[in-house]
């Protein structure tokens, strides 16, 4: 084997190393590392922006919910003030007595075994219907 190598070297000259030099390899490696670093920074920025956008959307949703709650409370407060102006008898005649009368008539028609419970359920159902 050594003899064949000697003959090859005498005929063709010393073999040449065709690999890249260490300097070029280091330069390529540094470029690659800089590229990866830039990509990591860009991804971190995109992630931060996405988190900020998500947080902003959550905040906006919470603000909208709070505003809707405040609007509902204000409407309820206005309704209470409207009824507060009425005398108690007028309020009962306007809001309570019609529902109670209908419920008592329905209790008389159905004749349940527990009329108080039936009347309570009837008034609860009617109050939900009227609220909608």
pLDDT in tens, 25-61: 899 999 999 999 999 999 999 999 999 999 999 999 9
Global pTM? Answer: 0.40
Does residue 117 belong to any structural domain of this protein?
A: yes
Nearest to 104 by CA among 124, 88, 120, 127: 120
Number of domains present in the structure of the chain? 2
Please tell me whether residues 27 and 77 are part of one structural domain.
yes
What is the residue range of 66's domain? 16-85
- Burial-class residue 103 by CB neighbours within 10 Å (0-12, 13-18, 19+): buried
Please tell me whether residues 81 and 20 are part of one structural domain.
yes
Tokens of 14: 């010393």
Please tell me whether residues 103 and 129 are part of one structural domain.
yes
Please tell me whether residues 53 and 79 are part of one structural domain.
yes
Please tell me whether residues 100 and 113 are part of one structural domain.
yes
Residue range 1-23, pLDDT digits in tens: 788 888 887 887 776 667 777 88
CB atoms within 10 A of CB 92: 12
Please tell me whether residues 73 and 24 are part of one structural domain.
yes
| Residues 101, 117 contacting (CB under 8 angstroms) | no
What does residue 26 show for φ and ψ, rounded to 5 degrees?
-65, -40
């Amino acid at each position: 084997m050594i003899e064949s190598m000697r003959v090859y070297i005498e005929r063709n000259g010393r073999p040449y190393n065709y690999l890249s030099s260490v300097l070029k390899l280091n330069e390529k490696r540094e470029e690659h590392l800089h590229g990866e670093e830039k990509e990591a920074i860009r991804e971190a920025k995109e992630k931060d922006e996405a988190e900020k956008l998500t947080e902003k959307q959550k905040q906006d949703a919470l603000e909208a919910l709070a505003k809707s709650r405040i609007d509902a409370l204000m409407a309820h407060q206005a309704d209470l003030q409207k009824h507060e102006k009425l005398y108690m008898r007028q309020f009962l005649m306007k809001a309570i007595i019609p529902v109670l009368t209908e419920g008592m008539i329905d209790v008389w028609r159905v004749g349940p075994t527990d009329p108080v419970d039936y009347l309570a359920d009837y008034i609860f159902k009617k109050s939900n219907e009227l609220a909608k």
